[in-house]
Amino acid sequence: MSALARPGGDLVKLDEAARRYRTVSGYAPKTLREYDRWFRRFTDFCAPADVWKADHRDVRRWFVSLAETVKPQSVEVACAAIAATFETLGKGHAIGEPGVGTRASPARHPEVQRVLRGIRAEHGCEPTRKRPLLIASLDTFLAATPETPRAIRDAAILCVGVYGCRRRSEIVGLDLGPGGDGTGYVTLTNEGLLIKLRRSKTSRAGDEELPYAIPYRRSAPRYCPVLAVERWVEAAGIAPGEALFRGVDRHGNVRPNRLRGGAVGRVVKRAAQELGMDPAAMGGHSLRAGGITSLAKDGLTLPDIQVQSGHKSLGTLATYVRLERSFEDSPLKRLSAYR
């Protein structure tokens, strides 16, 4: 039966599904949850008035009230949440029908944007970023890693995160080989470890596998990231298609369930404590930032680093280069006068 000959009810359902797919494909689940949280706060601010009748003056007042209690970066997230909800998600998002009932966002009004710029100027401060876990520090950690299941797993997680420049969600989403239900998988080859991501924060479609290679570090096998992963696979008895990183109980038993993203942050904090660093300054982002910063310290350009990190924007990539700005990293040392 042709599409035109289908009963009207079927066409309505198909159209609703099309709107849902079109709308949610561009947002990661975490982003949607964050936008929902901010829009609920805006709804409460507007109550008892209908939030969907709000204009730029309502948004302006809300941003001013937020600026008294949250950082400017959070106000900007709230602005993005309002724009996405009004223009893309629509009224229908709250009842499982995203894309229905959209309208122009009052947050885009020039007056609102001027207020935002004023908030940045008056309350702005440098964003708090996690310290990078550099390859040199990772080497120190690996040299002292005990032969326990949890320590072997932690070493493998740190190596994949730093050398692969991967996000914590990408790390825990990996399987051993294709065929699993993860967001990506790793393949061990004669040349090293190949990471392939089906989905990531910036690629939600899942219609391509983005490859990232980690070669063997043959000159220093004790610190080799590929061998660290191989040791974990062997110690945990992970079969092809299974989740690569799983929980380990206090008795050293490997659990069947995949780790959650928050576990990566805890692994980093434990490593930081063992290295004599401040655990509060470290987290899941320390891995991605550590790999990128280590590459930058060795003189690689941003386009070269982009091949490994997968960033779509060089501007965003640059924020992950977190050099200490010490004498060692001073660009003046490259001048002939300093040689």
- Residue 5, pLDDT score: 47
Q: What's the average model confidence in pLDDT over 87-109?
A: 89
DSSP 27-49: S-HHHHHHHHHHHHHHHHHHTTS
Rounded to the nearest integer, the mean pLDDT of the chain is 88
Helix, strand, coil shares of the chain as percentages rounded to 5?
55, 10, 35
Helix (H/G/I), strand (E/B), else coil: 176: strand
- For 270-296, write each residue's pLDDT tens digit: 999 999 999 999 999 999 999 999 999
- pLDDT above 70 covers a percentage of the chain that reads 89
Please state which of the ranges 3-17, 28-42, 79-93, 140-154 shows the lowest mean pLDDT.
3-17
Q: Among candidates 210, 211, 213, 216, which has minimal Cα distance to 230?
A: 216
pTM reported for the whole predicted model:
0.75
Q: Is there a shared CATH topology between the 12-123 domain and the 135-318 domain?
A: no
Architecture of domain 12-123: Orthogonal Bundle (1.10)
Confidence band, pLDDT 50/70/90 cuts, at residue 9: low
328, pLDDT greater than 60: yes
Residues 161-174: tens digit of each pLDDT: 999 999 999 999 99
Which residues touch 210 (CB under 8 Å, ≥6 apart)? Answer: 196, 197, 200, 203, 310
- May I ask the CATH architecture of the domain 135-318? Orthogonal Bundle (1.10)
Six token digits for residue 40: 């609920």
Residue 76's contacts (CB-CB under 8 Å, 6 or more residues apart) are: 116
Query: Does residue 29 surpass a pLDDT of 90?
Result: no
Spans of all domains in the chain:
12-123, 135-318
Transcribe 66-131 into DSSP letters.
Answer: HHTTS-HHHHHHHHHHHHHIIIII-GGGGGT-TTSS----GGGSHHHHHHHHHHHHHH--PPP-PP
pLDDT in tens, 103-161: 999 999 999 999 999 999 998 776 678 899 999 999 999 999 899 999 999 999 999 99
Residues 6+ apart with CB under 8 A from 265: 168, 283, 284
